[in-house]
Structures are given as structure tokens and as C-alpha cells.
A and B are shown apart, each in its own frame.
Chain A
């Protein structure tokens, strides 16, 4: 299939349709607004439903209703809007309803700014709302990868009957890149939705519910959910290891920051330096063992550098992976500023032997 030049947000909208999602509920917020703007034109062409909700709160509960009725559905937003969706995310996870939520992260906290950031990492990976629940979180580093991960996102949502978050940043949403869609037209509808509420004609009635007043029953429910998350941790970890197999400096970064770090690494490798990048693609489940293996392959005294567009959030997972075996250095900027390849290269250089 040939490549087309598309803005990240629009490409994500198209990717959703190719993945079979034709029900979208959302609310405008920069820098993701091109997703609803694209889908409001495209979805009617494929017999889909576009609805601009009155708020992010309503949008996520519309997703709850549509997912519970057994259709592939999604919403998209950016940081402050995702905070508002926290309630619904908890209910979706609690009721085991599959859906996809895109977070085109912008700078925070509060109203923050509209420029790209990665400062919703804690929010994405440590749960947004209340209770012991988790979302699977995918972090693309390019428009092409964002498109590819949308299909995976819907597949994982269905496989685990759980919300999946595609956690990108304003940079990926706003930039134009050539992309290739790997399938034509509207993708397949949800398969195996034999739990969905469709009217009980000819079968026993069904209930979508997260109220479990008896503590033993609620505990058992939590245990079952945890088993599901543990299974995802065993089966769904995705990452990229790039550069030298035995580096003197290992950079750990995700999304846009990983891509920028790659440029720095390429420059340094051309100088003959031994450097590498470890890039988690699944932010949850996080590739702890794989990251640790990359660290263990390093020479003694080699350094690990965590680079983020935040004040340091993923670094806690990198430290968990290291389990005290390595000192983890940090380079980060927030508020909409992005460390440049030169800044990353300079910091790596300072850590090289």
C-alpha cells in the first residue's frame, strides 16, 4: 500500500476506522482536536457514529455505554480532559469493557499549556481514577507507529476486555509524516461480545456493573482483575532496543523523546561512541526484565540516562528495573519545552568514560 502524508491526529482517526472502530465520542481540546474534526467527516462515510459530547466526563461515559452495548468505540483527549475522564476509566476497567482512549499529552499541571509533554506518565501508568485497576498503555514514537498501534490497541482492548490508552504527545498529534495503512476500509466489528447488553431476547439477561458490596466478593473480583493484568504483563510487553549491544551509556526514553534521543545516539555512534536506547512501547505493562537485561549487558560503571519531557516520572520504573544495580541519571524538560538532540548528546557525552 502506498504512503500518504498525514497529520498525526488525522492519521490516528483513520487508523481507528481501519481497526474497525466506527463509534467516537469526544470533546474538543488542543492539541488533539483534529481527531474529532477528522472523524466527524469520515465516520458518516463508513456508517459510523460521531458525537461531540458536552464534556470529557460525558464522553467517557458514552464510551462506557457503547462499549457495554458491544461495539468497538473510542474517545480522545489531552491531559486536562483525561483527568476528567478518570472516573469513567475506573468504571470501564471495573466492568471490563473494551475501548481505546487516546491521550495527546500537553504540558501541565492545571491548565498548563498546549505544547507537547510527557507529564501524564504517572496518570497513565498508575491509574487515573480510583481503585485497583490498570490500563494497557501504548506509547508511539512516530505517526506511523501511532497508526500501527491503533489496531493493536483495539485488539488488546478486546483480548483483555479492558480500556487501552494510546499515550502520545502533542508533537506526534501535530506533525505530518508519510504513513502507510496496512489494511483497506473499515475494519472488522468487535468479535466475541457475548457479554454485551443487546437486549435479552432469547438468552438470559446480562448486567454490566461494578458494585460489589460484599467485601469477599469485591476482593475476589479484584483478584480476578489482577490476574488479568498479570497475564498482560507476561504476554504484552513491547519495547525497542536500538544501538550498541554493550553500550557505555544506555538512554531510556519513550515516545517523542525516544525519537529525539535516537538522533543524538546516531550522531554519537558515528563518532564511534558505544551508546544505545531502550524504548518501552508498552508503558504499562512496563518491560522491566528486558530493560534490566539491557543494563546487565553494559560494562561495569556504564551509565543509564533517563530522558523525559517531564520533571521525571518514568525514571521510577527505570529504577525499579535497575533494582539498585545502576545509578540512573536524568535529563528532562517540562512545560512544553523539549530537550533537543544536541542537549541529549551533550548529556550522554558527559556520562561517557
Chain B
């Protein structure tokens, strides 16, 4: 038995926790917090809450803490993130993936020797949220910046955090060659099938038929090609690498993605290979869907085209070495 504490001011009312709670103990609220969001409410009693933490795992805003029956915190917000409240839209899962990266680095004791690189796009302000040394890079160039930083400081952990416009479009060359050189960096690639920051234009990853502001009649693949599967493309390279795809649209997928991110950083910490984790994520605002409809869209439309799992691992002998 347990209970949760919802930090009202952090809540954007996206309701991802409402869906995540297996016992339906969280409901949408009607009161607005000081930022104008209708925050969610825990309506259960300690006898009902199992302290499973899935609500907190789903929360993009570090807004929920979970306690067990002995009133001990079982879900603690990571010190790898600052206290700054993110600018992300309600239901966007950038915040979830930020937390996964930060949690993993904290767990591995790497926060003090990590250099992160923020991209251009919705996560341009990631340097405000990650609580360690951060670069802000030019659009698409993060893998080149990471290469320079890692070559200068080979004993540091260097990672990029990039969206699909940044990585798959303008930065296509930089990611391809960083991967092919086998740079000992980690790349966290958020794929939400759209340009978010500029207001919802077609990305290389936009789904066939998907309406965006530059494909108002739906993406016509005869004209714009098929969605780019970056993970698959990088997995064809002969250079050893860890290449995986996870999702952040639901709690279960998020927990699996956490493992992928951890393995990616473990490969880097062992100076083993290039590591890349693509994470499917939601963009309710630019998809024109509610946060939970957006999660369903990932499940129904994106995952069949972008299958989850590990696409490539370094050979066992390399892992042993």
C-alpha cells in the first residue's frame, strides 16, 4: 500500500498518469494551478495505491513522487535534472526521456563527468534542464560537436540529445559519419514524426498521409519519399555499434527504453562503441490530438513502421574486451 504526492505547480494536466494508473486512482482536475493548467488529482486512499510508480514513470514534468506503505519514497526525482520547469507542451514526452537519461547517468555515477549536447528544435533548451555540463549546438551538428568534445576529453561521457528534424534531416551527414567512425558517444534520438518547435512541419520521419503544415493534404510519399528509419539505416553500417529503438508513449515502453538508454551509456563507459537509442515520442500539439490520443497514435501508427527493440549490438568478444 502506498500513496503519491502530486506537485500541483509542475502538473500540466496532460493526464498521462491518469491512463498509467492501473487502479484508476488519478483523475483530471478542474482547478487551475498558477501556470494555468488543470492539475490532476489523486483520489485514491493508501489502501488502494500499490506504489507501483507507473504514474511517476509516465509523468513528463517530474511532478509525482511515490511512497510505499512505510511512507518511504519509492520514486525519487533525479538530481540529474534541474528544478526548472520545462517549456514542453502538455503530454509531450521529451520530459520523460530527459528524466530517463538523467536517472541512468545518476544511477551509473556519471553526472559529474558527463558533457551533454542539446540540439536545435523543441529540446533546444535541454541545457536548462540537464543538471551537468551542457553544450547548445547548431542545428543538426550535435554529433560533430560531440566528436570534438569526446576526442578532446576521451575520459568523459559525451552524449547528444536530438530530435528528428535535427538528426534525420539537417544533421543526416553528421549522425551517419559519427556512427560510421564509431565515435564513443551516445546519441538519444527523439522521433515524434514532425517538426515541433517551428510549428508542425513535415519531418523525414513524418508518416505517410500524416497532415502537417507543409503537407496539409497528408504526406504524399510519391512526392516526399517514405519515412526515414534512421536506426535501421545506422544498423547497416559495418562499424560495431549499439543501435536500439524504444518508445516513451506509455509506462511499460518507457521502462524498457530506460534499459536501452542504460545499456547505451554502459557501452560508452566501457569505451566500446557508438551507441544510439531512438525513442518514439508524442507531439499532441502539432498532431492535433489529446495527450492520450497521441499515445494511441504512437501505438497504432508509428510502432508498426518503427518497430521497437535492439537492432544491433557490438559482437560479444567486443563486449567482453
Contact = CB atoms under 8 A, between A and B. Distances in A.
Interface string B133-175: 1111110010011111111110011000000000000000110
B132 interface: yes
Interface string A82-102: 000001100100000000000
Given A61-B148, A64-B145, A68-B145, A200 B132 contact: yes
Interface in A49-95: 49, 51, 53-55, 57-59, 61-71, 73, 87-88, 91
A49 B152 contact: yes
Interface string A299-322: 000000000000000000000000
A208 B134 contact: yes
A327 interface: no
Contacts, number: 131
Contact of B177 (A58, A65, A199, A201): A58
A286 B149 CA distance: 33
A64 B135 CA distance: 10
B136 A62 contact: no
Interface stretch (B31-39, B52-60, B112-120, B266-274): B112-120
B75 interface: no
Interface string A196-212: 01111110011111110
Main secondary structure, interface of A, reads mixed
Q: How large is the interface on B (under 10, 10 to 19, 20 to 34, 35 or more residues)?
A: 20 to 34
A205 B133 contact: yes
Which of A55, A57, A87 has its CB near the most chain B CB atoms (within 10 A)? A57
A278 interface: no
Interface string A318-331: 00000000000000
B138 A69 contact: no
A87 B138 contact: yes
Nearest to A211: B136
B144 A53 contact: yes
A161 B124 CA distance: 24
A25 interface: yes
Nearest to B128: A207
Contacts of B151: 23, 49, 51, 62, 65-66
B144 A62 contact: yes
Contact of A205 (B134, B146, B149): B134
B152 A54 contact: no
A66 B149 contact: yes
Interface of B: 111-115, 117, 124-125, 127, 131-138, 141, 144-153, 156-157, 173-174, 176-177
The 10 closest A-B pairs by CB, nearest first: A65-B148, A201-B112, A62-B148, A61-B144, A199-B113, A66-B148, A65-B145, A54-B177, A209-B136, A65-B149
9 contacts: A58-B173, A58-B177, A64-B148, A65-B117, A65-B135, A68-B149, A197-B134, A200-B132, A207-B134
